[in-house]
A and B are shown apart, each in its own frame.
Chain A
């Protein structure tokens, strides 16, 4: 820019443009609807206007010169100046609005990235501490199966959060039972979707599912055979007398089923343990023991599937016992509970470090 007025240093955000550039600006705004591109928008406008600003800056900063030199048309000049001023102010406001919008979006993105980083760091820390080479040396299909699951699960959590908000709004707005029923059905279907996802990745690496490394730390604390305890579902009120009886029965059945599965898991541990420990220790060969143990471990996949099956059945039985409204409240409570557990995990991960002991 060849401006001979050194005191006027145009910055990106304070260039004054002549009126006929408005059209181009408006065009840019329409084309680039996404405020994230507003920097490029400003750049575009910059490039178009560099040639024009010299003349206008002259006029803006030295009105008295103009007034003296062209006294024959003072009114025209004044009018033009005022109009340009208005335009400039308007442009400035629009630019400010775009800038603020961009800032807001960047802020949101930053929060999301931080959360993502938290989650990945936790997983990385956990896996690093678990065993030597937990994911090193796995076959390509296993790691890709796990990677696919992690992506899907991330989306699942987002959808879950959206559904919870919808449920909450719906319950507060007192919508009809029919509409509520739709929400309940999709909520339950969403859980069933998770069980299907888990079943697929369990075939790739069952230890991954059971370890709960795909969940946040607080959720992991409550983990039972790769997920939540089905009996967690049964904390509900108010209920009619008939319902109390039915829920009581369900609670008992659930507990019995959980116990049976837990005992089965214990037996599996014993079996695998004795298989691995078996055979003469004096000899250096342990391949047969380890190979046999591997076969036995395949049962673990069945356990994960059975546990999820139990979760699914319990959810369905609950929806049979409860009214639509109760079921909606139950789903909301369940989803909110896990949401809070995740928040607890994030809070825990970001707690201030303990002072080192003297």
Chain B
């Protein structure tokens, strides 16, 4: 899928001379993941969380993040992936913690605007069969 993310126009409005979110859209090679690089702009992260049914935050090049993405893709989910640069890591984590009301670690999966958990939780809920219904309810999956 090569179409623009709906909130692109929203981003242009909030750019405000500070930092800007760059959208990198990957093609069929990655099965349609939407890959973003976050620069820690004040509300951008919150917007991402709210606007997307499923979004994965992780460090750039993190292999655990890759595992989460592969798993979600395998289920038929189109996860939005936000790769965080090292410099912006702290800022992004901070903002995510504010959203969550508690500590957040990478990789972090947000479902339906709330923190779902890390790879641990994704794995265990997947094995027990709880993951798919949760994803469906959040609108990330439909049959």
Contacts and interface: CB of A to CB of B under 8 A. Distances in A.
Is B a genuine binding partner of A? yes
B51 to A, nearest CB: 25
A317 B67 contact: no
B66 interface: yes
A302 B75 CA distance: 23
Given A256-B75, A309-B120, A261 B67 contact: yes
Interface in B41-97: 61-64, 66-68, 70-71, 74-75
A317 B70 CA distance: 22
Which of A263, A309, A314 has the most C-beta atoms of chain B within 10 angstroms of its own C-beta? A263
Interface SS of chain A: helix
B127 A271 contact: no
Contacts of A265: 63
Nearest to A307: B123
B74 A260 contact: yes
Interface string B110-137: 0000000001100110111100000000
A250 B123 CA distance: 12
A310 interface: yes
Contacts of A309: 120, 123-124
Contact of A313 (B66, B71, B75, B127): B127
Contact of B64 (A249, A254, A264, A313): A264
A177 interface: no
Contacts of B126: 253, 256-257
A271 B60 CA distance: 12
Given A253-B129, A259-B74, A299-B62, A306 B124 contact: no
B63 A317 contact: no
B63 A299 contact: yes
Contacts of A259: 70, 74
Given A259-B70, A260-B74, A299 B127 contact: no
The SS class assigned to the B binding surface is helix
Interface of B: 61-64, 66-68, 70-71, 74-75, 119-120, 123-124, 126-129
A268 B71 contact: no
B131 to A, nearest CB: 8
Which 5 residue pairs spanning A and B have beta carbons closest together?
A: A264-B67, A260-B71, A260-B70, A313-B127, A268-B63
A267 B66 contact: yes
Given A260-B70, A260-B71, A306-B119, A299 B124 contact: no
A310 B71 CA distance: 13
B128 A256 contact: no
A303 B71 CA distance: 14
Contact of A306 (B66, B67, B74): B67
B66 to A, nearest CB: 5
A2 to B, nearest CB: 83
Contact of A314 (B61, B62, B63, B127): B127
Given A254-B127, A309-B120, 15 more contacts: A249-B129, A253-B127, A259-B70, A259-B74, A260-B74, A264-B63, A264-B64, A264-B70, A267-B63, A271-B61, A303-B63, A309-B123, A309-B124, A310-B127, A314-B127
Interface residues of A, number: 25
A267 B74 CA distance: 17
A264 B66 contact: yes
B63 A257 contact: no
Contacts of A263: 66-67, 70
Given A257-B123, A264-B66, A317 B128 contact: yes
Nearest to B65: A264
26 contacts: A249-B129, A250-B127, A253-B127, A253-B129, A256-B71, A256-B126, A257-B71, A257-B126, A257-B127, A259-B70, A260-B68, A260-B70, A260-B71, A260-B74, A261-B67, A263-B66, A264-B63, A264-B64, A265-B63, A268-B63, A303-B63, A306-B67, A306-B119, A309-B123, A310-B123, A314-B127
Interface string A299-340: 100110010011001100100100000000000000000000
A263 B68 CA distance: 10
B90 to A, nearest CB: 18
- Of A249, A260, A302, chain B has the most CB atoms within 10 Å of the CB of A260
B70 A299 contact: no
Q: Which of A257, A265, A303, A306 is packed against the most chain B CB atoms within 10 Å?
A: A257
Interface in A264-321: 264-265, 267-268, 271, 299, 302-303, 306, 309-310, 313-314, 317, 320
